[in-house]
Amino acid sequence: MSEVNLMDLYPKAKRDLEHRATVSEENRRIAKMFSREFFDGTRDQGYGGYKYDGRWVPVVARMRDHYRLAPNASILDVGCGKGFMLHDFKLAMPSCTVAGLDISAYAVEHAMEDVKPFLLVGNCRRLPYADHSFDLVVSINTVHNLKRDECWQAIREIERVGRRHKFIVVDAYSNEQEKERMLKWNLTAETILHVDDWETLFTEAGYTGDYHWFTP
């Protein structure tokens, strides 16, 4: 288990933290429904339009090379949204097998057509896959949307279904300034922890994969 930044080639967005701090609790409630408003509604309630733009292409290449994935590797995206990253995995590795799971029926319904048949609606607390099914399990900014005890369950599940590599990204902070920024920015996370506390939780869950922190 180690901290590794496989997101260094992902574009960094400019965030207006002061504006986000004025977002109402009603907007946060709507965002946590993970429906149309979150993906394709206003910026105050989520992405403000979740459209494919190829930004995952360099990240996928980074993961492929870092983990030395075989051309026919099996890959699971936990919290796959509309399947953008899985689409890019198929572009980079046409022989790979992909699967995705997301809590949002809206996202899966509006997923990219080439990967849509491989996506399921579900909760990462209980993944509908057999033990050791995937060469790589990825979960980007998803696990933290659960309560702490549910995060433990989700991490255990990611560990269970992965037979080789795992990579998780969660909201985290390492000092009070980062914590303040995170609380201003966050819309959906139920669990925001210090990096040391996340590492403790990973260990308690028996996680053996890699991880990285998201901090706005």
How far apart CA 11 and CA 18 sit, in angstroms, is: 21
Average pLDDT, the chain: 95
How far apart CA 189 and CA 196 sit, in angstroms, is: 18
Q: Which of 66, 91, 103 is nearest to 210 (CA)?
A: 66
pLDDT (0 to 100) of residue 15: 60
pLDDT (0 to 100) of residue 185: 83
pLDDT (0 to 100) of residue 181: 87
Pick left, alpha or beta for residue 152 (phi over 0 → left; psi -120 to 50 → alpha; otherwise beta): alpha
pLDDT (0 to 100) of residue 20: 58
pLDDT (0 to 100) of residue 152: 98
Show the CA angle centred on residue 149, arms to residues 146 and 154, nearest 5°. Answer: 60
Q: Where are the domains of the chain?
A: 2-214
pLDDT (0 to 100) of residue 131: 98
Contact between residue 161 and residue 76 where contact means Cβ atoms under 8 Å apart? yes
How far apart CA 6 and CA 100 sit, in angstroms, is: 19
Contact between residue 76 and residue 101 where contact means Cβ atoms under 8 Å apart? yes
Take residue 68 and report the two structure tokens written for it. Answer: 């030395």
Confidence band, pLDDT 50/70/90 cuts, at residue 62: very high
Take residue 214 and report the two structure tokens written for it. Answer: 């998201």
pLDDT (0 to 100) of residue 184: 83
Architecture of the domain spanning 2-214: 3-Layer(aba) Sandwich (3.40)
Report, as an integer, the average pLDDT of 90-102: 98
Contact between residue 106 and residue 83 where contact means Cβ atoms under 8 Å apart? no
pLDDT (0 to 100) of residue 21: 60
